[in-house]
Amino acid sequence: MPLVETTRGEDGLAGVVTVTLANEENRNALSAALVDELVEALDAADCDPDVRVVVLTNRGRVFCAGADLSERSGDGARDGGPPPKPVDPAALFSRFRSSPKVYVGRIAGHCVAGGMGLAAAMDLTVVDESAKFGFTEVRRGIAPAMISVLCLPKMRPTEAAEAMLLGNRMTGADAARLGLVNRAVPADELDAAVESFVTDLLAGGPDALAATKQLLTRVPGMDVDEAFVWTAELSSTIFRSDEAREGMRAFLEKRSPSWTD
C-alpha cells in the first residue's frame, strides 16, 4: 500500500493536485519511506505544467506525528544495522519556498513536532480548530531543530519560547492565533475553507503567483535599498510578460483572463 497518494482535481478545480499522507497506522510519521514517496509526489507536481495548486492533506486522525522515532532512535544501528536515513531539509521542507506552485495545507488531524514544520511550510494553511498541535520534541529529549527555521519567522519570540520550551499541546485555533497557520475552522467547514483558497488562487495568473511567492520569501531578508532594486527588476520583467499583457487586456475589456478558462 502506498504511504502517499495523489489525486487530481475534478472539472471545477482543474489544475489542482491533492497529495495525501496515507500511513494511518504509523500516524503519518516522517519515516524515510514516507518522505521518499512524498518527495516523489511533490516532484511530479512541480514538474507538471498543468498543475497550479497542490493541496497537502492526510488520511486518518493524525496529519503528521513528526519524525518516526522508532526509526530514528538508533536501535537499528546498535543492532548492527545501517544508521537511520536523516530527512533532507532541502528535499522536503525547503522545497516549498522555491516551488513555483502554490501549496495549500488541509490539516485534518493532529499535528505535532515535525508535522508542525510541514504545516508551516505551506503557502496557505487551513486546520481543524479542534485538532491538537504542539512542539513536543523536548518531551522526547530532542529539539525542534529544522522546523524552527520555518516556524520561528511566523511567531513572536515570547510565544515561540513558551511553545517550544514547554512542549505543551495546543489547539488548531491556538496555532492560528500564533500565526503558524492561516485559518482554523470546525472540521465540517474544512473542505469549504480549502476550496475557497483554491478558487481564489486559480483566479490569479500562474506566473504572477510564482513571482509573488518570490516576493514573500526574499524581500523580508533584504535591506531596503537592495529590495527596491530587485523588486523594480522583477516588476519590469513581469510587466513585459505575455501573462501580464493578457491580464491587463482582460481587465480593460471586462472579461476573464485566459488562465481561468
**Which of 25, 137, 226, 253 does the annotation list as catalytic?**
137
Told to judge if 37 belongs to the known catalytic residues of this protein, a careful annotator would answer no
Beta strands in the chain (DSSP E): 4-8, 16-21, 53-58, 62-64, 102-107, 110-112, 124-128, 132-134, 170-171, 183-185
CB atoms under 10 Å from CB of 109, counted, come to 24
All 3 cell numbers of residue 77? 544501528
Per DSSP, the three-state class of 82 is coil
Q: What are phi and psi of 79, to 5 degrees?
A: -85, 10
If you write DSSP's letter for every residue of 189-244 in order, what string do you get? GHHHHHHHHHHHHHTS-HHHHHHHHHHHHHGGGS-HHHHHHHHHHHHHHHHTSHHH
Catalytic residues: 137
